[in-house]
Amino acid sequence: MEHSAGIGVSLKDSSVCVVDAAGRIVSEAKVASEPEALVAWFCGLGLAVTRIGLEAGPLSQWLHAGLAGAGFEAVLLETRHVQAALSAMVIKTDRKDARGIAQLLRMGWFRPVRRKSADAQEVRALLVGRKLLQSKLRDVELSIRGILRGFGLKVGEVSKAKFAARIREPVAGHAMLETVTGAMLAAREGLLAEFMRLHRRMLAMVRADTVCRRLMTAPGVGARVSITVRTAVDEPVRPGAVLWKRFGAHHAS
């Protein structure tokens, strides 16, 4: 008899539910959210599990890779589809999520999504870190401008390289402003240095990637946009085939 399993992923422990072909629950458990722990639990279950489903998410990518690597047919389910299917739940819990996902797998009412490759996940991590540092750097600069504006001191337009020097000029001789802006400028210097370190790493990756260089031949496409698109598509053959099928079906009709 075929069995389907759903996993309600949580940070520490995940809820697991296994149902048979008739939809009856045959096993439930709380298992540590570690690939090795989940693999060991399914191996010791004593049942042939046809599919194991997880709602797509950051932690799910890691768990999915571990289960698939152990030989299980693991499926990442599209988040919005799962949320719509399970929206009737009055109280949402990991246990109920696991039960619902198991039933969706059993009935075939799910939309699978592909797990990003390890290389794509690394690039995404770089882009997220770079964006965060850039955002915090901008926040510090705007906060400094706002503080000085309260004292009637206007910074005006200034380049990144000359920002610190421009701030020190009007606050000279004002002990409190020197202390406050000095601390904030030191924080800005650290953020800027780390941002540039990640930015240079991104540029090096773009220069080494043929696809990114080709994308940058399009007007308005720079390094960040090209590598973002490259990472989003990841493996162009698969989405390209889908688009081609849709295009062909559209014109055939």
- Domains defined for the chain, CATH in brackets: 3-113 (3.30.420.40), 118-235 (no CATH)
Least confident span in 13-22, 67-76, 145-154, 234-243: 234-243
Taking residues 117-139, what's their average pLDDT?
Answer: 95
H/E stretch holding 112 reads strand 112-113
Cβ contacts of 170 within 8 Å, gap of 6 or more:
148, 153, 155
Q: Nearest 5 degrees, angle CA 187-CA 224-CA 129?
A: 40
Q: Kindly give the interhelix angle for 118-149 and 163-171, rounded to the nearest 10 degrees.
A: 20
Taking residues 170-176, what's their average pLDDT?
Answer: 95
On average, the pLDDT of the chain sits at 90
CA distance 63 to 32: 11
Is residue 25 within 8 Å of residue 19, measured between CB atoms? Answer: yes
Is residue 167 within 8 Å of residue 155, measured between CB atoms? Answer: yes
What pTM was estimated for this model as a whole? 0.76
Taking residues 152-174, what's their average pLDDT?
Answer: 94
pLDDT at 232 over 90: no
Going by C-alpha positions, the residue among 65, 55, 73, 86 that lies closest to residue 3 is: 73
Count of Cβ atoms closer than 10 Å to residue 50 Cβ: 15
pLDDT at 201 over 80: yes
Q: What is the pLDDT of residue 236?
A: 65
Residue 86, both tokens: 């399970």
Task: Select the more confidently predicted residue: 246 or 120.
Answer: 120
pLDDT at 245 over 60: no
- 3-state class of 51 per DSSP? strand
Residue 2 has, within 13 A of its CA and on its CB side, a CA count of 14
Q: Cα torsion at 233, 236, 241, 242 (round to 10°)? A: 0
228 falls in which pLDDT band (50, 70, 90)?
Answer: very high
